Amino acid sequence: MTPRIDLIEGPDTGVDPETLRRLCRSWEPALGAELSVVFCQTDEDLKMALGRARADARGVLVNPGRATVRDMDGPLVARVDLNAAERPRGGDPAAIEVRGRGVMGYRWAAAWLLRRLQSPCEVVPYGPQRDQVGDLRLPASVAKAVPVAVLLHGGFWRERWERDTIEPLAIDLARRGFATWNLEYRRVGRVGGGWPSVRDDVAAGIDHLADLAGRHPLDLDRVVFVGHSAGGQLALWAVRRLGLDRPPAVRAGLVVSLAGIADVAECARRGLGEGADAAADLMGSPPGACPDAYAEASPRAALPLGVAQLVVQGEREATPDLMDLNATYVRAAQRAGDDVELLLRPEADHFDLVDPRSLAWCETAARVCAALGVPA
């Protein structure tokens, strides 16, 4: 049976009804779901539409517009705000909220909601802040302790990109026999976001696995860090944790960087980042103003890492500088004595690397399974 999602538009969202309906129809085949659009003129209309959808146990996307309805959280509800700073976020860390992605935010939110319904996870706080959470998934059948994959999403460390962007890999790895721990962290644009908060969150989130191992069958001797884009920088940084005094509670035996940013300083010097200098935004200033902080954040400056690394890069990358920076990083890591491999995929673009259906990910996953002793 095809799942149905109700897309409920509150008053004055500024979205053209016919355009939204056409877009929803065009998204349905890829999503494998029916999207039904309901436009509400008042708060009461929105409450009634939300109540009907909940009563029928359907998934719901809500763009509140100027509505002041408070009760919009829940396991079947995803909230969409077209603008990044439109309204305060809800208080439930497990709630799905997509903001700042324009009308494509509806598609992102629908995909996230469908995955949450079809492959449930346990949303676990690792700290007191709303973004200090991770999604824990276990394999369907667990007879003994299983290896763990820590996933770190990309998005140039910016607020609008969240852990949903790498969630398909978390689900795929769980199906392959891994426990997956998909971390969120405080990003640029959030209160307290940026460096060093990102650093502190990633370290705390990974260390929280030691606590989770007391409740779940996790084999912390078989751990892989997997990061995409900016998350690749975080996965590589998490090996040595420059800037932190405390030793890690959990160590990786393999790090996988998927089109990662291995040199934060060079990223800033080249001004990479969706039309803005993402690295300077992360660090709060250009490299010349705080060279020590950039050295702390840049995996290349931390070489040798002393752990096996797989750097995966698509040759259809929309940002050729990433191809160059990763090739340069791999050569430097090899010269430093690290066990590192550069896996080039000629058919893959930036996002194919986080698509579990792609050849690039299938080859990557096979190597991860082999390295951690998981049957293919």
Q: How far is CA 30 from the centre of its chain?
A: 20
Looking at the structure, tell me whether residues 259 and 338 fall in a common domain. Answer: yes
* Mean pLDDT over the full length of the chain: 94
Q: Which domain-ending residue is among 97, 113, 129?
A: 113
> What is the token pair recorded at 328?
């340069």
Q: Which domain-ending residue is among 93, 113, 133?
A: 113
Looking at the structure, tell me whether residues 329 and 190 fall in a common domain. Answer: yes
Q: Which domain-ending residue is among 92, 113, 134?
A: 113
Looking at the structure, tell me whether residues 287 and 323 fall in a common domain. Answer: yes
What is residue 134's three-state secondary structure? Answer: strand
Give, in degrees to the nearest 5, the angle at Cα 344 between 198 and 369: 70
Confidence at residue 87, expressed as pLDDT on a 0 to 100 scale = 54
Looking at the structure, tell me whether residues 181 and 323 fall in a common domain. Answer: yes
Structure pTM?
0.95
Is 299 domain-assigned? yes
Is 179 domain-assigned? yes
> Would you write out the chain's pLDDT as a tens digit for each of its 376 residues?
889 999 999 999 999 999 999 999 999 999 999 999 999 999 999 999 988 888 777 789 999 988 887 777 777 889 999 987 645 556 677 789 999 999 999 999 999 999 999 999 999 999 999 999 999 999 998 889 999 999 999 999 999 999 999 999 999 999 999 999 999 999 999 888 999 999 999 999 999 999 999 999 999 999 999 999 999 999 999 999 999 999 999 999 999 999 999 999 999 999 999 777 999 999 999 999 999 999 999 999 999 999 999 999 999 999 999 999 999 999 999 999 999 999 999 999 999 999 999 999 999 999 999 999 999 7
Q: Which residues form the domain of 221?
A: 121-371
Is 242 domain-assigned? yes
C-alpha–C-alpha distance, residues 321 and 36, integer Å = 41
Is 56 domain-assigned? yes
> What is the token pair recorded at 118?
């079809």
> What is the token pair recorded at 188?
């640029």
C-alpha–C-alpha distance, residues 258 and 174, integer Å = 18
Confidence at residue 23, expressed as pLDDT on a 0 to 100 scale = 98
CATH code: domain of residue 94: 3.40.50.9100
Is 376 domain-assigned? no
**Beta-bridge partner residues of 5:** 35, 59
Looking at the structure, tell me whether residues 135 and 253 fall in a common domain. Answer: yes
Is 23 domain-assigned? yes
Looking at the structure, tell me whether residues 211 and 258 fall in a common domain. Answer: yes
Looking at the structure, tell me whether residues 46 and 74 fall in a common domain. Answer: yes
pLDDT tens sequence across 106-122: 999 999 999 999 999 99
Confidence at residue 88, expressed as pLDDT on a 0 to 100 scale = 57
Confidence at residue 89, expressed as pLDDT on a 0 to 100 scale = 59
Looking at the structure, tell me whether residues 38 and 159 fall in a common domain. Answer: no
CATH code: domain of residue 332: 3.40.50.1820
Confidence at residue 134, expressed as pLDDT on a 0 to 100 scale = 98
Confidence at residue 337, expressed as pLDDT on a 0 to 100 scale = 99
Looking at the structure, tell me whether residues 80 and 132 fall in a common domain. Answer: no
Residue 335, number of CB atoms within 10 A of its CB: 10
Confidence at residue 331, expressed as pLDDT on a 0 to 100 scale = 98
Chain position carrying tokens 């009804």: 17
Is 303 domain-assigned? yes
Confidence at residue 55, expressed as pLDDT on a 0 to 100 scale = 78
Looking at the structure, tell me whether residues 174 and 297 fall in a common domain. Answer: yes
Looking at the structure, tell me whether residues 155 and 255 fall in a common domain. Answer: yes
Number of domains in the chain: 2
Is 55 domain-assigned? yes
Looking at the structure, tell me whether residues 69 and 159 fall in a common domain. Answer: no
Confidence at residue 91, expressed as pLDDT on a 0 to 100 scale = 64
Confidence at residue 90, expressed as pLDDT on a 0 to 100 scale = 61
